[in-house]
Structure 1
Amino acid sequence: MEELRRDVALACRILGATGLTTPLLGHVSVRVDDDHVLVRCRGPHERGLLFTTTGDIRLVSLTTSVVCDGYELPNEFPIHREILRARPDVDGVLHAHPRSALLAGLADVPTRPVFGAFDIPAYRLAASGVPLHPDAGLIHSVEAGQALAATMGEAAVCLLRGHGIVTAAGDVPTVVAHALALDELLTVSVELARLGVAPPDVPPTGLPDLGPSFNVDALWRHHVGLLELRGLAEVG
């Protein structure tokens, strides 16, 4: 439990450190059992995602969704609850507000697999297709959460028009890896749209899956190392 709590806190700090979300908005959760998740909540001394501590990661029931000790659930906790209910294949959910997502969604920029070995995980997201959720409002009701889960389907990521992104995976480091890859894909797509060019799709030939030990584990250690360099890796 404490290791999971630390992973969620580090994930939130990585979101803040990489600029993948606005300072006070965004959250990460991980499933603990059939009815409980650890999720980043707002406490009485809230300072933003970059300063998340393990104390901010609260154990919450998917049924009652009650938080104690002066903490409040994210307004958009239904994102986590409804995706986890709909997706027994995933245990981690991330929601963030990268600027790339805002621009790509509002400008209807297509997310196509136009680059290859530059970023293979991002290429694979593009090749699989990035679902676009049309509702720009807060996902703060059961119905809104279910609608988002339906839009996302079995995908690893989802773009919310005028809002942000959601990623889902089997663990916390992987939802962070998906968010970083999606941000790269969206950033390149927006820049290409600015340049007014539309390169052809790249075929998958010569683009092997390098596996989670490289795409996820090494990437996670890299970003935790960057936090260490800034004196921000101590989340206890």
Structure 2
Amino acid sequence: MGIEKLKQDIVNTIRMLERAEHIDFNGHVSARIPGTDQILINDRRASRSALTSDDIIQMDLDGNVITDEGQPPNEFPLHTEIYRSREDVDAVAHTHPKWSTLFTIAKVPLRPVIIQGAVIGDAPIFPKSYSISNTEIAKELAETLDDNYVVLMKAHGAAIVGQNLTEVFARSVFLEENAYRQYMAGQIGYAHSLEDDEINHMKEFIWQPKNIQKVWDNHLSKLY
């Protein structure tokens, strides 16, 4: 995939996340440039709702900006330390999801209560409500993420990873939808989790490229 196409995919991901209210004036998304130790990430100064490919900057894993100008987000170490620790990850999003963050504040476990929740897997909670803006704290976050695809940050947000931006976006959608349904069901009574066999079956059924792409295409159609 060319760099310009990857830049536009980051733009679309961020604008869709903003429209879905998974991020606001903060939040950032990155992608690894294939075959390199460099990433593309949104400039911290750019509006998330009006982002263009001109607002995507190129940088290395030490935080050095490769492009002529641009300012990476303050929390860029969140991205770079995850890429250092996970060779299987080629895309990262830091979101501020409303519903799933509530569970970290209330200290209530987030559980798979709908079939889309089956693909989230374990979502460990990073127990420090800090900005992930230096290497030390970012390494701790990456260790908490471990080999999972989602890590929730106490009273803060989430870091979501995947092999590509489409996966990352779909996981963000499924994470919030599951959290919303769990919260709402809890207002009626106890929100029961899916059974283990249901989780295993639905995880394989839902996490297919055609289904993930459908989520992306549906949200993309609302942008343009």
TM-score, length-scaled by structure 2: 0.90
Q: Helix, strand or coil: the match of 2:15?
A: helix
Query: Hey, what does 1:173 align to over in structure 2?
Result: 166
CA contact (8 A) 1:109 1:189 kept: no
Which residue identity is paired with 2:222? L
Which residue identity is paired with 1:63? D
Question: CA-to-partner distance for each residue in 1:216-236, whole Å, 9 max, x for gaps?
Answer: 2111111111111xxxxxxxx
Q: Helix, strand or coil: the match of 1:103?
A: helix
Structure-2 separation of matches of 1:221 and 1:92: 18
CA contact (8 A) 1:130 1:157 kept: yes
1:64 to partner: Cα distance: 4.3
Query: Hey, what does 1:29 align to over in structure 2?
Result: 30
Structure-2 separation of matches of 1:17 and 1:67: 29
Deviates more, 1:100-109 or 1:74-83: 100-109
1:65 to partner: Cα distance: 2.3
Q: Helix, strand or coil: the match of 1:209?
A: helix
Query: Hey, what does 2:118 align to over in structure 1?
Result: 123
1:35 to partner: Cα distance: 1.7
Structure-2 separation of matches of 1:51 and 1:151: 33
Q: Helix, strand or coil: the match of 1:158?
A: strand
1:67 to partner: Cα distance: 6.2
Query: Hey, what does 1:234 align to over in structure 2?
Result: none
Match status 1:199 vs 2:211: no
Corresponding residue to 1:42 among 41, 44, 63: 44
CA contact (8 A) 2:128 2:153 kept: yes
Query: Hey, what does 1:87 align to over in structure 2?
Result: 86
Corresponding residue to 1:189 among 182, 191, 206: 182
Q: Helix, strand or coil: the match of 1:226?
A: coil
Structure-2 separation of matches of 1:204 and 1:51: 43
Corresponding residue to 1:19 among 11, 21, 36: 21
Structure-2 separation of matches of 1:168 and 1:96: 11
Question: CA-to-partner distance for each residue in 1:26-72, whole Å, 9 max, x for gaps?
Answer: 000000143210001124xx3x2111110111111112423665521
Query: Hey, what does 1:143 align to over in structure 2?
Result: 136
Structure-2 separation of matches of 1:60 and 1:84: 13
Identity percentage of aligned residues: 29
CA contact (8 A) 1:113 1:202 kept: no
The list of structure 1 runs, each at least 4 consecutive aligned residues, that deviate by more than 3 angstroms after superposition, is 67-70, 192-196
1:139 to partner: Cα distance: 0.2
Query: Hey, what does 1:2 align to over in structure 2?
Result: 4
Structure-2 separation of matches of 1:115 and 1:156: 18
1:108 to partner: Cα distance: 1.3
TM-score, length-scaled by structure 1: 0.86
1:180 to partner: Cα distance: 0.7
Runs of at least 5 residues in structure 1 that lack an aligned partner in the other structure = 229-236
Give aligned pairs, total: 218
Structure-1 separation of matches of 2:189 and 2:152: 22
